[in-house]
């Protein structure tokens, strides 16, 4: 059966070649010719020539396929969508069926009630009308007329007549309808259905749809008879394609098909799904091309030191700016392979160390990397090997990589004693990641609205409009209310917004729940409690997140709830801290005795084989036994994996990992939970969502968004997470927000609430006024009494202070640094330490990698600062500290702030602090950005501003004695 796709006005219709051979009666060509020229034609001849072309069986199959393509076999939620829109049509169809039986028996057909079908609704529909809309007899009448028209087109070309005359008369829209009328008028209308026929014969989308089907069948029949070589190359088919691609045809089709009154229920939802999947597929392809190009550029990148730089220091890292809003450090240079070991699942782990602490990299466990040999400048990379980041050392000086090679591999052995370079490979550049995203979109498009799809209610809710959701509510399919929590949890440990989120999440009739968790609101604790309650109710849960680190974090949190949890994923990408919960480790423990027995039998058979090599028949038998033993082992492993996953109450994996066949072959999950959903692209979220009956997405769209390298894909909408899009649907009924934060001093939280959360974020009384001076062993000074502090390097009249200007890294890494600000940061760190603040509770952040590396080098010179963490803003998301110091770096006469103006990134940076935030910057540069200017204004109102200079204990305005009491 041959398939082809014709696009008419933006609507794709699947055409299936009928297996029956169509035959045209002899002597009918002249009649078709006169019909095109407008001459009167005998009804009897046209009826005969049009009817004899196809058998009743092929016509029945064609109608069945059309019904299937239009979704008429769907049930469940789809039945509800069709329930109220097609009552009259179903009655008419029943009458048509009885008419067919009367014709077959030779009885006089009865006259049908014309009121059985709504005539007004028929003409307003923009999609081609089918038997459900018109009835079988009317559709048959249209097919016969369009069959005659298609035959005349083909015969005009076959006889070698001037086809240009036909082209001149034929056109889209009204012109096509006029040309079709003689053929329709020549076919007798079904009795009692004249009014419907008269409406349908002027409905352009229906006529065009049936005509292109019939013309295709006629041309294929001619090709089957060897009368034409290629039916797609005929003038008739080219003319049809020309009409379908004309601007007038597309404009008319789009106008009607997008009309609100023309599409209803499931058809409207399917149209939105088709448009969405097409858009996302295109954006994924664009983004993948950009990531492949970007990855290749990174692999080929070499440092370009400043010609005035004479530093002999080896190059330790490279940064790249895929966009103006972000700086990525995906390359680490000058590493040394120091040891090897065998990790989970038999992976070969290689431990790499640098000369001292590793640079501030974006690499994290689970990232795919390329390991190569290079020189001291990071150039001349050779001997490429692929692997995954297994672990970053706790001391910050090592990185463990799981390589796909074996220790005996010559490339593997070459790594030792050489300078090593590690480059990260972007997500979509990985073929598997890209294919699984595309596969999820395909599954959404093809099976999203099928009644067998467990997530059909989710799909209907997300892509339906208000009327669709109201219909689901009226039929008791969905419910948005909270469930009663009496006795389910200790309410005194949860605030009102947290209790509401848990109560909404326990509602089994709520298909989608968005939990927005601003910083410090206890989102992870809410998810933990919610999953625990769901499991106690006997439901199975699938928990995913966009990164392996986020999944492993959830594994740690859920380990104490007493549920049977299993972490699924590549062993090399799973943190050693949660390895005991991994599927591989559980399988190995269960099969320990079986494997031991297997190895014993295998060893015995090999010994027997060595003794009877001369006896071919006996040796062949032993080899067969070894082969059978191996099959038994594999079968046992498969059965064990299936048993473990089937009995698991909570299964955890990354969004992409949820596409693993081991998970997809399981029965549908009762609940799917996606954590950190604000950092995931929407296609990846549909992978786990389509595996569950309802879903909960947790995260914060006001923090870091998905990393998108292509500007075109970003502007097209790929950077908008599913969490962000879904929280605005249906007037926000899908979303709830946690509104009480338990982390920050109110002076810090007030800024975040006003700038990012519309003033809805409130501070718990337990943290609203807490300060560094409230901590044990911390002395009361003006610094420890200050929750917000601005150390401004601005000179009078806005001039730049010498030594505090931004500088481009002369080593050629591509990043900025500021030595003056680094000195001020070091001084402020010591002011805090001298006041009794523990170094382990102090974090220094900067958006720029070169500045982070400079600050690390400066602080490592002083043993007293050991324990102070220095990190990029992005790498510290999801964590917190008592005191946070932020070095903004940028200081120039142009007012250029780069990606400092990204509100989400700055929100992350500031809201990591519990009791104290100190920002070091040049306000004359920073104030050129309106968002940052409001931040400076907020600090002036609710904190303190001091002028700062490098050296001299902070310069004028900063006391030489940190013990000086605060001045009110």
- State how far the alpha carbon of 959 is from the alpha carbons of 376, 831, 933, 952, in Å: 44, 10, 26, 10
The rounded distance, in Å, linking the Cα atoms of 90 and 82 is 11
**What values do phi and psi take at 124, rounded to 5?**
-85, -15
Is residue 317 within 8 A of residue 849, CB to CB? The reply is: yes
- What spatial distance separates the first Cα and last Cα of the chain, rounded to whole Å? 86
- pLDDT digit string (tens) for 404-428? 655 556 666 677 778 888 888 877 7
Burial 504-531 (b: 16+ CB within 10 A, else e): bbbbebbbbbbbbbbbbbbbbbbbbbbb
Higher pLDDT, 954 or 715: 715
The rounded distance, in Å, linking the Cα atoms of 678 and 696 is 12
**Crossing angle between the packed helical segments 819-834 and 849-860, to the nearest 10 degrees:** 50
* Residue recorded with tokens 């806005």: 798
- pLDDT digit string (tens) for 641-668? 999 999 999 999 999 999 998 898 888 9
The rounded distance, in Å, linking the Cα atoms of 276 and 686 is 12
pLDDT score, position 277: 94
- State how far the alpha carbon of 498 is from the alpha carbons of 505, 530, 724, in Å: 11, 10, 20
Higher pLDDT, 760 or 630: 760
Cβ neighbours of residue 105 under 8 Å, at least 6 residues apart? none
Q: Is 629 helix (H, G, I), strand (E, B) or coil?
A: helix
- State how far the alpha carbon of 465 is from the alpha carbons of 129, 189, 278, 429, in Å: 23, 38, 20, 35
Other Cβ atoms within 10 Å of 593 Cβ, number: 9
Burial of 717 (0-12, 13-18, 19+ CB in 10 A): middle
- pLDDT digit string (tens) for 35-84? 333 333 333 333 333 333 444 444 444 545 544 444 444 445 555 554 44
pLDDT score, position 29: 36
What confidence category does residue 828 fall into, taking pLDDT thresholds of 50, 70 and 90? very high
Is residue 889 within 8 A of residue 816, CB to CB? The reply is: yes
Other Cβ atoms within 10 Å of 104 Cβ, number: 8
DSSP output for 822-885: HHHHHHHHHHHHHTT--GGGEEEEES-HHHHHHHHHHHHT-GGGTT-EEEETGGGTT--EEEEE
Residue 335, H or E segment = strand 326-342
What rounded mean pLDDT belongs to the chain? 78
Length of the chain: 968
**Crossing angle between the packed helical segments 265-300 and 456-463, to the nearest 10 degrees:** 90
Higher pLDDT, 346 or 510: 510
- Taking alpha carbons only, the member of 368, 388, 517 closest to residue 878 is 517
For 32: left if phi > 0, alpha if psi spans -120 to 50, otherwise beta; the answer is alpha
Mean pLDDT confidence for 196-208: 84
Is residue 719 within 8 A of residue 706, CB to CB? The reply is: yes
- pLDDT digit string (tens) for 280-315? 999 999 998 888 887 777 777 766 655 554 454 555
- Taking alpha carbons only, the member of 958, 894, 893 closest to residue 920 is 958
Cβ neighbours of residue 942 under 8 Å, at least 6 residues apart? 747, 750, 751, 787, 788
Q: Is 104 helix (H, G, I), strand (E, B) or coil?
A: helix
- pLDDT digit string (tens) for 124-155? 445 677 777 788 888 899 999 999 998 988 88
pLDDT score, position 743: 94
The rounded distance, in Å, linking the Cα atoms of 530 and 501 is 9
The rounded distance, in Å, linking the Cα atoms of 459 and 464 is 8
Is residue 364 within 8 A of residue 427, CB to CB? The reply is: no
Max mean pLDDT among 59-63, 194-198, 368-372, 929-933 falls in 929-933
The rounded distance, in Å, linking the Cα atoms of 147 and 145 is 5
- pLDDT digit string (tens) for 469-511? 888 888 888 999 999 888 788 877 899 999 999 999 999 999 9
Burial of 948 (0-12, 13-18, 19+ CB in 10 A): buried
- pLDDT digit string (tens) for 422-469? 888 877 777 888 889 999 999 999 988 888 889 999 999 999 988 888
The rounded distance, in Å, linking the Cα atoms of 618 and 393 is 54
The rounded distance, in Å, linking the Cα atoms of 749 and 28 is 84
């Amino acid at each position: 059966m041959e398939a082809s796709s014709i696009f008419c006005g933006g609507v794709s219709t699947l055409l299936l070649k009928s297996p029956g051979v169509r035959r045209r009666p002899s002597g009918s060509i002249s009649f078709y010719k006169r019909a095109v020229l407008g001459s009167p034609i005998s009804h009897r001849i046209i009826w005969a020539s049009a009817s004899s072309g196809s058998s009743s069986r092929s016509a029945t199959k064609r109608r069945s396929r059309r019904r299937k393509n239009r979704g008429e076999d769907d049930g469940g939620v789809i039945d509800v969508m069709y329930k109220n829109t097609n009552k009259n049509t179903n009655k008419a169809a029943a009458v048509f069926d009885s008419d067919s039986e009367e014709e077959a028996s030779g009885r006089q057909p009865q006259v049908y009630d014309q009121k059985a079908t709504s005539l007004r609704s028929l003409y307003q529909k923009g999609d081609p009308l089918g038997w459900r809309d018109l009835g079988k007899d009317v559709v048959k009448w249209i097919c016969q007329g369009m069959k005659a028209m298609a035959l005349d087109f083909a015969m005009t070309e076959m006889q070698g007549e001037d086809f240009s005359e036909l082209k001149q008369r034929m056109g889209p829209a009204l012109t096509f309808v006029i040309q079709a009328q003689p053929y329709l008028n020549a076919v007798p209308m079904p009795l009692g259905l004249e009014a419907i026929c008269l409406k349908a014969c002027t409905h352009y989308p229906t006529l065009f749809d049936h005509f292109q089907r019939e013309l295709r069948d006629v041309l294929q029949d001619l090709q089957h008879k060897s009368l034409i070589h290629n039916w797609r190359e005929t003038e008739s088919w080219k003319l049809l394609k020309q009409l379908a691609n004309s601007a007038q045809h597309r404009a008319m089709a789009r106008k009607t098909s997008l009309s609100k009154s023309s599409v209803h229920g499931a058809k409207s939802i399917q149209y939105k799904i088709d448009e969405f999947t097409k858009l996302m597929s295109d954006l994924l392809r664009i983004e993948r091309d950009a990531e492949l190009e970007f990855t290749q550029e990174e692999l080929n990148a070499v440092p370009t030191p400043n010609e005035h730089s004479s530093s002999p220091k080896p190059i330790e890292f490279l940064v790249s700016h895929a966009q103006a809003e972000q700086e990525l450090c995906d390359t680490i240079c000058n590493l040394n392979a120091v040891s090897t070991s065998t990790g989970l699942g038999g992976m070969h782990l290689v431990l790499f160390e640098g000369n001292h602490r590793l640079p501030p990299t974006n690499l994290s466990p689970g990232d795919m990397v390329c390991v190569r040999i290079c020189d001291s400048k990071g150039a001349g990379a050779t001997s490429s090997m692929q692997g995954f980041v297994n672990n970053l050392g706790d001391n910050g000086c090592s990185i463990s990589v799981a390589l796909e090679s074996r220790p005996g591999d010559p490339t593997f052995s070459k790594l030792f004693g050489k300078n090593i370079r590690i480059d990260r490979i972007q997500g979509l550049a990985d073929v598997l990641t890209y294919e699984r995203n595309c596969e999820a979109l395909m599954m959404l498009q093809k099976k999203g609205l099928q009644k067998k799809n467990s997530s059909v209610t989710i799909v209907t809710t997300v892509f339906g409009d208000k009327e669709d959701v109201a219909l689901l509510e009226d039929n008791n399919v969905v419910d948005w209310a909270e469930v009663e929590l009496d006795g389910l949890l200790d309410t005194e440990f949860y605030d009102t917004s947290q209790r509401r989120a848990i109560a909404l999440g326990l509602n089994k009739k709520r298909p989608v729940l968005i939990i927005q968790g601003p910083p410090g609101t206890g989102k992870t604790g809410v998810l933990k409690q919610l999953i625990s309650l769901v499991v106690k109710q006997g439901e199975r849960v699938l928990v995913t997140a966009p990164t392996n680190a986020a999944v492993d974090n959830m594994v740690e949190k859920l380990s104490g709830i007493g549920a049977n949890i299993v972490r699924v994923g590549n062993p090399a990408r799973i943190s050693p801290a949660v390895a005991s919960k991994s599927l591989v480790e559980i399988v190995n423990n269960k099969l320990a005795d079986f494997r031991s027995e297997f190895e014993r039998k295998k060893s015995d058979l090999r010994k027997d084989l060595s003794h009877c090599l001369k006896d071919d028949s006996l040796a062949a038998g032993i080899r067969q036994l070894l082969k059978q033993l191996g099959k038994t082992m594999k079968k046992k492993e498969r059965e064990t994996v299936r048993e473990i996953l089937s009995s698991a109450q909570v299964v955890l994996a990354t969004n992409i990992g949820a596409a693993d066949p081991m998970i997809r072959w399981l029965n549908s999950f009762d609940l799917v939970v996606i954590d950190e959903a604000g950092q995931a692209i929407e296609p990846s979220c549909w992978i786990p969502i389509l595996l569950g009956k309802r879903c909960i997405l947790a995260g914060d769209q006001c923090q870091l968004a998905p990393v998108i390298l292509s500007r075109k894909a970003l502007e097209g909408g790929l950077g908008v997470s599913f969490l962000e899009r879904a929280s605005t649907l249906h007037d926000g009924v899908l979303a709830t927000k946690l509104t009480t934060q338990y982390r920050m001093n109110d002076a810090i939280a007030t800024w975040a609430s006003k700038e990012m959360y519309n003033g809805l974020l409130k501070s718990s009384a337990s943290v609203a006024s807490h300060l560094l001076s409230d901590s044990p062993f911390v002395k009361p000074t003006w610094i420890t009494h200050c929750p917000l502090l601005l150390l401004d390097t601005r000179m009078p009249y806005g001039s730049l202070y010498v030594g505090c200007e931004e500088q481009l890294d002369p080593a050629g890494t591509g990043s900025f640094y500021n030595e003056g600000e680094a000195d001020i940061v070091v001084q402020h760190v010591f002011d805090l330490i001298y006041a009794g603040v523990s170094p382990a509770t102090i974090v220094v952040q900067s958006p720029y990698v070169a500045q982070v590396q400079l600050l690390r080098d400066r602080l490592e010179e002083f043993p007293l600062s050991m324990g102070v963490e220095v990190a990029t803003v992005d790498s510290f998301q999801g964590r917190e500290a008592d005191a946070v110091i932020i070095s903004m770096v940028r200081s120039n006469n142009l007012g250029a702030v780069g990606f400092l103006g990204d509100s989400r990134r700055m929100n992350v940076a500031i809201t990591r602090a519990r009791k104290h935030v100190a920002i070091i910057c040049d306000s004359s540069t920073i104030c050129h950005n309106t968002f940052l200017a409001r931040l400076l204004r907020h600090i002036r109102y609710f904190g303190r501003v001091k002028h700062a200079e490098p050296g001299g204990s902070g310069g004028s305005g900063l006391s030489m004695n940190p013990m000086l009491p605060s001045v009110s």
